[in-house]
Structure 1
Amino acid sequence: MKIVDVCAFYSPQGGGVRTYIEQKLRIGPELGHEIVVIVPGETRSTVDRGAGARIISLPSPRFPLDRKYGYFADETVLHAALDAEMPDVVEVSSPWRSPSMVARWHGRARRSLVMHADPLSAYAYRWFEPMLSRPSIDRSFERYWEHLRHLGQAFDMTVCANHDLAGRLRDGGVARVRVHPLGVETGVFSPQRRDPELRARLLASCGLDENARLLVAAGRLAPEKRWPMVVDAVAAASLHTPVGLVLFGEGRERRSIRSAIGGNPHVRLFKPERDRVAFAAILASADAVVHGCEAETFCMVGAEARASGTAVIVPDSGGAADHAGGGAGFTYKAGNLFSLTSAIKTFCEQPRYAQGASGVVSNVQHFAGLFADYGQVVRNPQAA
């Protein structure tokens, strides 16, 4: 098949979507498919990755709140690019404008909407849930639900990477929802990368010795990630047990996170570790990975922690929650500082143990399953 991904969330500067796209460009051709990714860029360009993989950039405006990202603004130009490619399947990885543009395209390709974002959890629920119930919030955002239901009818499938989001979409009347958990680079992330010396160095950077617990966190420094809450919870838990936190990330909330850390010597903020092998060693050497965001559509760092045999401490909703199943970690009430503090204290009271990498889907398995679904609707559109 020829699969074209219209990806509005792609940024050359990095991020989870870019990691996913890089995997798709490499693995898709290995599975016998041609992969073309159309992204918003500064100028019109084509980057040939060889072996049936390309990235096409279309001139697009920059997103005002984060200029690393762009957005598709010219529907005619996007349609012309799709006409030129003549794909078997068009995949769209944004719930905003681009899927509506693809829905209006007159090509014959089958269409898939991949939910790489959960705007209701990231914004509406986070902003208003302290005051309103979720059903009340959903009623206030009925126009967005109508938009999602319309897309569910216009596309052959809506793909989610976690069961929480898939259940909410089905309950909201969105048709043809399917769950495909994302995969992990199992050749990179492994319990075998545990390094006691690295663990000791990270704890020493937090002013602690090897008897303390080491928590690791990683992700964009954005409001929906709730990093100040994570910092405050670790500070509160450290009053009862020695525990340090190292957070890897960058973004517009850096100043507020530094303010939350204040002079706490047991919490350190570092730039992202771009070397995947080095980052895998950090995850495998941690005692636990802690995460604050209930709006994750998958939570790649949670899956990578599980592949590394490292426990997770994650909210009880959203994509992160899936990674705590089967005894792989602890959950806490999403958005609740006291619940997170209690979960950290409970974890620290447990005896140390090394987990195996159980229940992990490899990235090859993910793409093989997803593309098999695409092949089914290409061969038999009624299968959708």
Structure 2
Amino acid sequence: MKILDVAEFFSSRGGGVRSYLEELVRQGSRRGHEIVVVAPGPRDEVVPLERGRIVRVAGPPMPYDPTYHALLRLGAARAIIRREAPDVVQASAPYTAALVAASAREVPLRTFVYHSDQISTYAAPLLDRVRPRAVARALEGALFAWPRALSRRFDATIAPGTFIAEQLRSHGCERVHRVTFGVKRGDFGPSRADAALRRSLLGRFADEPSAALLLVACRLAVEKRVALVIDAARELAARRPVALAVLGDGPERARLERRAAALPQVTFLGFAKDRATYAALHASADVFVHGGAAETFGFVLGEALCSGLPLVVPAAGAALDFAQPGAAEVYAPRASPGEVAAAIERVLARPREERVAAARAAGERLPTSDEHFDALFALYADLLERGVRGEG
């Protein structure tokens, strides 16, 4: 089987979508499939990867985060699809990537992979302020007209988890298939904790028995709401010794560093390129605090659980899918910093061994990356065999 993915949000720095698509190429290669990813970039180039490749199409940098580039040369992307003649073309974004993939009527199977919930990310915070609530719900329904239209044009819409699958179906999207994303469980575990790393991040509190190390890991963009986590850490620090480690980078980093300057102990780490260091960071912390309220899956949340690291997450988006009893505490989607701090304290009130065991057990229940791609490729083979087609 030959699969071609048309991507749109493919950062030169990394990120969830890029990591997923590179893993798609690797997993497909190991199963004898040929995978081609077409993504915008700073220049036209072809990057070989195992049996597949990443084909970059030159585009201008995005204004907010210049590590992303815009997919504007739609003719070039369509020409690549015609040249490659795949069995499956999938879109990984709902804008120009979706338009290009949906128009490839010569391809036997066209699918849309719902990587990002643009409506919940950008529109929902504004709709929350609209009264009466019936008007807000009507406006939200109108915004879902575009995902509904896409679902009719594609032969299948792939939802990465339970929350997104239910959301899409509730808004009338057709041919939605839940193929839950997976985690590389074997890369993580409590045994990967590094005492020296933990001491360095605790800093001035390294010898305090009651000190807590909070971890944030994400792209530092406004929708991830890291500012809320920083403010919650400040509230908590007034009552107990707390250190915050921020793993990631992005356009908000300088502003967040200024906001965090008043914390007694904070470390901005950038992205961890070494997988062992990344796993050690998770295993060495006490609580993973997440601000994003519009996740479609949340790989880092699953990785935290597999590390034995309990979660504090908003009761919104796919983050809620990870909120297993004993392994996580939730806070309201529009909670105050004090309410987030209270959720962190509820986690820390439990014995460390108990919360580590609960988180690890919740992580073991998640699908593995291998299981996800087995299910995805099996679904594609079945749809090809049955000749399922959307409206086009």
TM-score (norm 1): 0.93
The DSSP-based 3-state class of the residue aligned with 2:352 is coil
Partner SS state of residue 187, structure 1: helix
Alignment match, 1:349: 349
CA distance in 1, matches of 2:45, 2:200: 44
3-state SS of 1:325 partner: coil
The corresponding residue for 1:376 is 382
- Which residues of 2 match residues 87-98 of structure 1 at below 5 A? 87-98=86-97
Q: Distance in 2 between matches of 1:97 and 1:252?
A: 23
Q: CA RMSD in A?
A: 2.0
Any gaps of 5 or more consecutive residues in structure 2? none
For 2:343 and 2:70, how far apart are their aligned partners in 1? Answer: 39
CA 1:284 to 1:61, structure 2 compared with 1: closer, same or farther past 3 Å?
same
| CA displacement 1:199-255 (0-9 Å, x = unmatched) | 222212666634312111111111111111111111112223333211112111123
Amino acid at match of 2:386: N
Runs of 4 or more above 6 Å deviation: none
Instruction: Give the drift of 1:97.
Output: 2.3
Q: 1:100 to 1:139 in 2, by over 3 A?
A: farther
Residue of structure 1 in register with 2:71 after alignment: 72
Query: Residues 134 and 227 (structure 1 numbering): CA distance in 2 closer, same or farther, change over 3 Å?
Result: farther
> How many angstroms does 1:313 deviate by?
0.8
Q: What does residue 148 of structure 2 align with?
A: 149
When structure 1 is superposed on structure 2, of 204-213 and 84-93 the one drifting more is 204-213
Number of the residue aligned with 2:17 = 17
Whole-angstrom CA distance in 1 between matches of 2:330 and 2:211:
21
Name 1:32's counterpart in structure 2. 32
Compute the displacement of 1:374 (Å). 0.9
What is the identity percentage for the equivalent residue pairs of Structure 1 and Structure 2?
34
Alignment of 1:108-187 (within 5 A): 108-132=107-131, 136-140=135-139, 144-187=143-186
Alignment of 1:1-384 (within 5 A): 1-50=1-50, 52-132=51-131, 136-140=135-139, 144-204=143-203, 209-337=208-336, 338-353=338-353, 354-355=356-357, 356=360, 357-382=363-388
Q: How many Å apart are 1:141 and its aligned residue?
A: 5.3
User: CA 1:208–1:119 in 2, change beyond 3 Å: closer, same or farther?
Assistant: farther
Which letter maps to 1:253?
A: E
Question: Which secondary structure state, in structure 1, belongs to the residue aligned with residue 157 of structure 2?
Answer: strand
Deviations 1:160-191 (A, max 9, x none): 22322222211111111122222222232222
For the 8 Å contact 1:240–1:345, the answer to whether it is kept is no
Aligned residues: 383
The answer to whether the 8 A contact 1:306-1:360 is kept is no
Please give the alpha-carbon distance, in whole angstroms, between the structure 2 residues aligned to 1:104 and 1:253: 36
Letter in 2 for 1:377: L
Amino acid in the other structure paired with 1:368: D
Pair 326,99 (structure 1): closer, same or farther in 2 beyond 3 Å: same
Amino acid corresponding to residue 212 of structure 1 in structure 2: A
State the alpha-carbon separation in 2 of the partners of residues 186 and 312 from structure 1.
Answer: 16
Deviating more after overlay: 36-45 vs 353-362: 353-362
Q: 1-side partners of 2:31 and 2:144: how far apart?
A: 35
Q: Aligned partners of 2:301 and 2:294: how far apart in 1?
A: 13
Shift of 1:339: 2.6
Q: Distance in 2 between matches of 1:131 and 1:113?
A: 31
Contact 1:40 1:70 in 2 (8 A): yes
